[in-house]
Structure 1
Amino acid sequence: MPRPAKGARLGGSAAHEKHLLANLAKSLFEHGRITTTEAKARRLRPYAERLVTKAKKGDIHNRRLVLQTITDKSIVHTLFTEIAPRYENRPGGYTRITKIGNRRGDNAPMAVIELVEALTVAQQATGEAEAATKRAVKEAEAKSDATETPAEETKEA
Structure 2
Amino acid sequence: MRHKHGYRKLGRDSAHRRAMLRNMATSLITHESITTTLPKAKELRSVVEKMVTLGKKGGLHNQRQAASYLFDKAAVSKVFQDLAPRFKDRPGGYLRILKRGVRFGDGAKLATIEFVDFEPKAKSE
* TM-score, normalisation: structure 2: 0.86
The letter of the residue matching 1:106 is D
- Residue by residue over 1:2-59, the C-alpha shift from the partner in whole angstroms, topping out at 9 and shown as x without a partner, is xxx8554223111111111111110100001000000000000111101100011110
Counterparts of 2:70 and 2:7, CA distance in 1: 24
**Aligned equivalent of 1:52:** 52
1:87, 1:118 within 8 Å by CA — same for their partners in 2? no
By relative contact order (CA 8 Å, sep 6+), the higher-ranking structure is 2
1:26, 1:75 within 8 Å by CA — same for their partners in 2? yes
- SS of structure 2 residue aligned to 1:84: helix
**Aligned equivalent of 2:89:** 89
The answer to whether the aligner puts 1:11 opposite 2:11 as a matched pair is: yes
- Which runs of structure 2 are paired with 1:70-85 in the superposition (5 Å)? 70-85=70-85
- Which runs of structure 2 are paired with 1:129-148 in the superposition (5 Å)? none
Counterparts of 1:61 and 1:114, CA distance in 2: 26
**In the TM superposition, what is the alpha-carbon distance from 1:74 to its structure 2 partner?**
1.1
> 1 or 2, which has the higher helix percentage?
1
- Which runs of structure 2 are paired with 1:21-40 in the superposition (5 Å)? 21-40=21-40
Q: CA RMSD in A?
A: 1.7
The answer to whether the aligner puts 1:110 opposite 2:110 as a matched pair is: yes
- SS of structure 1 residue aligned to 2:111: strand
Counterparts of 1:93 and 1:42, CA distance in 2: 12
- SS of structure 2 residue aligned to 1:105: coil
- The share of aligned pairs that are identical, in percent, is 44
Q: Which structure has the larger Rg over C-alpha atoms?
A: 1
Counterparts of 2:70 and 2:109, CA distance in 1: 27
Distance 1:89-1:103 versus aligned 2 partners, 3 A rule: same
Distance 1:91-1:23 versus aligned 2 partners, 3 A rule: same
1:49, 1:92 within 8 Å by CA — same for their partners in 2? yes
Distance 1:76-1:107 versus aligned 2 partners, 3 A rule: same
The answer to whether the aligner puts 1:68 opposite 2:68 as a matched pair is: yes
Unaligned runs of 5+ in 2: 120-125
